[in-house]
Amino acid sequence: MTVMMVAVFATLVLAILLGQFGPRWAALASLFACLCLFVWLFLFEIYSPEYGFRLPWLQVGTAEPPREA
């Protein structure tokens, strides 16, 4: 997972450098690649069986409601 974060950062840096010094089409292609990698990484982390959906504010219990006597 750390490798994917480095890949997202590297493509973003490449897009910035190409936007400054290179052809515009290459910068846009690199920016699009960065966006695709970011979305893939986000969806992987959400749907991962190891990390996904373990947000404490989304946890629900199955306790019964209290009964009145």
Give the C-alpha separation, 15 to 25, whole Å.
10
For 17-26, write each residue's pLDDT tens digit: 999 999 999 9
Tokens encoding 35: 């966006």
Global pTM reads 0.70
Give the C-alpha separation, 28 to 6, whole Å.
19
48: phi then psi, degrees, rounded to nearest 5 = -70, 135
Give the C-alpha separation, 38 to 40, whole Å.
5
C-alpha closest to that of 33 among 4, 58, 65: 4
For 11-67, write each residue's pLDDT tens digit: 999 999 999 999 999 999 999 999 999 999 988 888 777 766 666 665 566 667 777
